[in-house]
Structure 1
Amino acid sequence: MALDHTRDFFAATPFDPMDLAQTSPGWYWTRWITNLCAPTFVLLAGVSAFLRQQKAGVADNSRYLLGRGAMLVVLECTWISFSWQFGYNVLILQVIWALGMGMIFLSALIWLPRTLVAVIAAALILPHNLLDALHGPTSGILFKAWHQGGFLPLGEGFGAAFAYPLMPWVGLMAAGYAMGPVFLWQAEKRQRFLWISVAALLLVFVGLRFGNIYGDPDAWSEQAKGGVYSFLSFMRVHKYPPSLLYLCSTLGISLAILAVLDKYVKQRVPVLSLFGRAPLFFYCVHIALIHALAWVYMGWRYDYHPSFVGRGQKLPDGYEPTLLACYTAWAVIIAIMFVLTTAWTRWRDARAAAITSPAPAAGSV
């Protein structure tokens, strides 16, 4: 995730890294690998909601999801949208918006039997590419927010960009909730289920994708540049909105990684466990940090100040995006975020301990 956002600011390209006519395998995979993030976040948010409910109960969990979801939507529309632009011309509705709305949606669904939640999740995910044929420039706000995505003007010099339309994302969070009991099983049984899911997802992906049958609005094709680019075409699936094949391919890989970690990693990995304890802090800080450092660096070197908004903007004379700059900046960002997140979690833990510690008895020293 941070790699992709670093690329946006430190290594903006005059072409789409997924455009096979202009990209290279290095740029392509640097962009593609980050596709794993959002589906994993959303699915595991649903799993976490189920696990929380085992202790909190349905009523408390519903209130929590409703409040937490509303907070995330407000956060996306304020600080996070500002962090991308260092201005306020566009509401950029991305993964935090999708997570927030998914929680609001799930706060109602959890009152239903879990089997019915699974059916609703499947109904939102499996057939949603049938709506692709309805996309058009005259679509209204509800359809853009629900399925099509895109930019919607809301006034002179202001608008909303629905980067993450909701239909498949809220369905995916509901699927994570329905999947929740798996994470209460014995390790061997859980891992077996995960590997079966991986095999099923990847088989569906390959089967549907190979024949361009269903599940993605963009067909793949053999490329004149050779087999490597043909494979890139095969793997280039639609993220905005996430197609069925996008979800199958990314979740197939993510669940495989999860199964491996579950079986073989018996001790905490410091960086992963640290960031995993404070994901919202990481997200809220890292975008503004990347933007600020890129603003200083690009301003010093090229007299140019990058912004996430306005992909059609003219890049400065003499500027050439390089993967070396992208990965170097990314490593620096991760190091800074490690320090900041360490400080944040220590302060948070100390504050929580102070709140929960019993007050000393009167007269005691």
Structure 2
Amino acid sequence: MKRIHTIDVTRGIVMIIMALDHVRDLMHTTALTQDPTNLQTTTAALFMTRWVTHLCAPSFVFLSGASAYLTFKSQKNLAQTKNFLLTRGLWLMLLEVTIINFAFWFDLHFRTIILQVIFAIGLGFVTLSFLLKLSARIIGVIGASIIFLHGLTLLVPIPKSQGLALAWSFLFRANVFALTPNFTLGTLYPFIPWLGILLSGFAFGSVFQQSAPIRKKLLWRSALVALSLFVIIRFINFYGDPIPWAPQKTGLFTFLSFINVFKYPPSLLYTLLMLGIMFVLLALGESKPNGFTNLLATYGKVPMFYYLLHWYLIHSIMFGMLFLQGFTWKDIPIGTFSFGRPTNSGVELGVIYLVWLGVILALYPLCRWYSKYKAAHREIKWLSYL
């Protein structure tokens, strides 16, 4: 399958931005005690540091769907593509609950398992493998219907029974369950809402088969439609997000309230705004390749390789921060959402940005090497799973 440069560039931007959020999660002074999007306690800089990273998950999921479509069309073999999506999906789900969750908590006992974006993509691929007999148009209608209507499920109370509550949350709600005194399960990326984004991306995949001028025009139109719908529905302030916007103490904070959309689960307005921005990046990425876009594409060509490495690198840097701040191994807590750091640890936002840039620069040579290795060894099939 011929690579689409603008997808690699956009995915590279997304992966770079994603690292900023994870550095903030693990190292910022208030990351364990304060919601950075709480307009009553945050600053504009901290809000935007968190808000800009909202772009990552929906872009990653949408482009995963589009890539699945391009793979399907390039292989021209239903059974082969079904098997690839099924096995890749199961592999991603296994990675999430093992190697990735260990990267989150560094807990050999796995007392906390959080199902996040990689698990959602994996289960989405498994589901998509059984939908391939349907036309892309029908799959797109299913995906769009989920995006526009799943907000209605917020009107349904979570069942009181733990088993039913777990099942409902797995499908529709972000939730955390202390299943035993020593095991906690989090459903932060409920399956159905994220499936809607992945299926929509699959249906959109045909756009990337068009010639560059037509593709660019369609991307700009898609951006205009998504962002216009966001502004109209958000202004009405009735449906599309569980938290309505409201006038704040300053005009800037009123604007922040307007764009402060809900991610867990991804609301309609969150999805429209973030995918609208993603379409803009894709359209801009249609320009002639140059040194900068090639640099961005290097990260975008090896997203899973980068994803795994960046978690382990950031977490290792976090431990280095703790030791420099005078903490010892006996001070490091092991528990849900602790990341292994005391609440009185951390660095300020300026240092977060410096560490983030360091992480990006450190990972570039590795990503460049692995990208070239994959391209030179296409006969090694398992490389397509990493």
Query: Normalization by structure 1: what TM-score?
Result: 0.90
Cα distance, 1:271 vs structure 2: 2.7
Please state how far the C-alpha of 1:140 moved relative to its aligned partner. Answer: 1.6
Q: CA deviation at 1:285?
A: 1.3
C-alpha distance 236-348 of structure 1, shift in aligned 2 (>3 A): same
Q: Runs ≥4 in structure 1, deviation > 6 angstroms?
A: 353-356
Q: Distance in 2 between matches of 1:122 and 1:308?
A: 38
Pairing partner for 2:183 from 133, 158, 161 = 158
The structural deviation recorded for 1:336 is 1.4
Aligned to 1:246: 270
2: CA distance, partners of 1:274 / 1:180: 21
Q: CA deviation at 1:179?
A: 1.0
* 1:316-360 Cα shifts (integer Å, max 9, x gaps): 2xx56411110011011111111332343455556x27979xxxx
Residue 274 of structure 2 aligns with an amino acid whose one-letter code is T
Report the Cα distance in structure 2 between the residues aligned to 1:161 and 1:353, rounded to whole angstroms: 37
Give the distance between the partners of 1:23 and 1:355, measured in 2 at CA: 48
Match runs of 1:282-321 below 5 Å: 282-303=306-327, 305=332, 309-310=336-337, 315-316=343-344, 319=345, 321=347
Trace 1:17-166 onto structure 2 (pairs within 5 A): 17-56=36-75, 57-87=77-107, 88-136=110-158, 138=160, 140-166=165-191
Aligned mates of 1:3, 1:204 — CA distance in 2: 28
Assess if the C-alpha contact under 8 Å between 2:333 and 2:342 holds in 1. no
- Pairwise CA RMSD: 2.2
**C-alpha displacement of 1:155:** 2.4
Question: Post-superposition shift, 1:307?
Answer: 7.5
2:281 — aligned with what? 257
Q: Helix, strand or coil for the counterpart of 1:91?
A: strand
AA in 2 matched with 1:334: I
Cα shift at 1:12: 4.1
Of 193, 213, 217, the match for 2:242? 217
Task: From 300, 303, 311, give the equivalent of 1:276.
Answer: 300
Q: Deviations over 1:212-253 (max 9, x none)?
A: 121000011001x21000011111110000000000000111
Aligned residues: 352
1:262 positional shift: 0.8
Q: Are residue 7 (structure 1) and residue 24 (structure 2) matched?
A: yes
3-state SS of paired residue (1:263): coil
Instruction: Structure 1: give runs of 5+ residues left out of the alignment.
Output: 357-365
SS of the equivalent of 2:114 reads strand
Which sits farther off after the overlay, 333-342 or 44-53? 333-342
Deviation of 1:310 after TM superposition, in Å, equals 2.9
8 Å contact kept, 1:135–1:148: no
Counterpart position of 2:13: none
Alpha-carbon distance in 2 for matches of 1:268, 1:108: 39
Superposition deviation, residue 11 in structure 1: 1.0
- CA drift of 1:84 comes to 0.5
CA distance in 2, matches of 1:349, 1:192: 30
> How far apart are residue 287 of structure 1 and its match?
0.6
Is 1:202 equivalent to 2:234 in the alignment?
Answer: no
1:322 to 2:322 alignment: no
Q: Give the CA deviation at 1:158.
A: 0.4
Greater CA drift, 137-146 or 243-252: 137-146
* Matching residue's letter, 1:130: L
In the TM superposition, residue 180 of structure 1 has moved relative to its aligned partner by 1.2
- The 1-side partners of 2:208 and 2:70 are apart by 8
In 2, the alpha carbon distance for the partners of 1:297 and 1:346 equals: 33
Identical amino acids, percent of aligned pairs: 35
* 1:341 corresponds to 2:367: yes
Residues 1:349 and 1:49: Cα distance change in structure 2 (over 3 Å): closer
Deviations 1:79-120 (A, max 9, x none): 101110000211111110111011111111111122211221
Is it true that 1:237 corresponds to 2:261 in the alignment? yes
Alpha carbons of structure 1 residues 10 and 355: separation in structure 2 relative to 1, 3 Å: closer
Q: 2: CA distance between counterparts of 1:19 and 1:302? A: 30
Specify which structure has the bigger relative contact order, considering alpha-carbon pairs within 8 angstroms and separated by 6 or more residues.
Answer: 2
Contact 1:282 1:337 in 2 (8 A): yes
Which ranges of structure 2 fall in alignment gaps of 5 or more residues? 1-17, 382-386
CA distance, structure 2, for counterparts of residue 161 and residue 211 of structure 1? 33
CA distance in 2, matches of 1:230, 1:148: 27
Which moves more between the two structures, 153-162 or 163-172? 153-162
SS at match of 1:332: helix
* Cα shift at 1:263: 3.2
Q: Distance in 2 between matches of 1:94 and 1:345?
A: 25
Indicate the SS of the match to 1:55.
helix
Contact 2:332–2:342 (Cα < 8 Å) also in 1: no
> Aligned pair in 2 of structure 1 residues 311, 134: CA closer, same or farther (>3 Å)?
farther
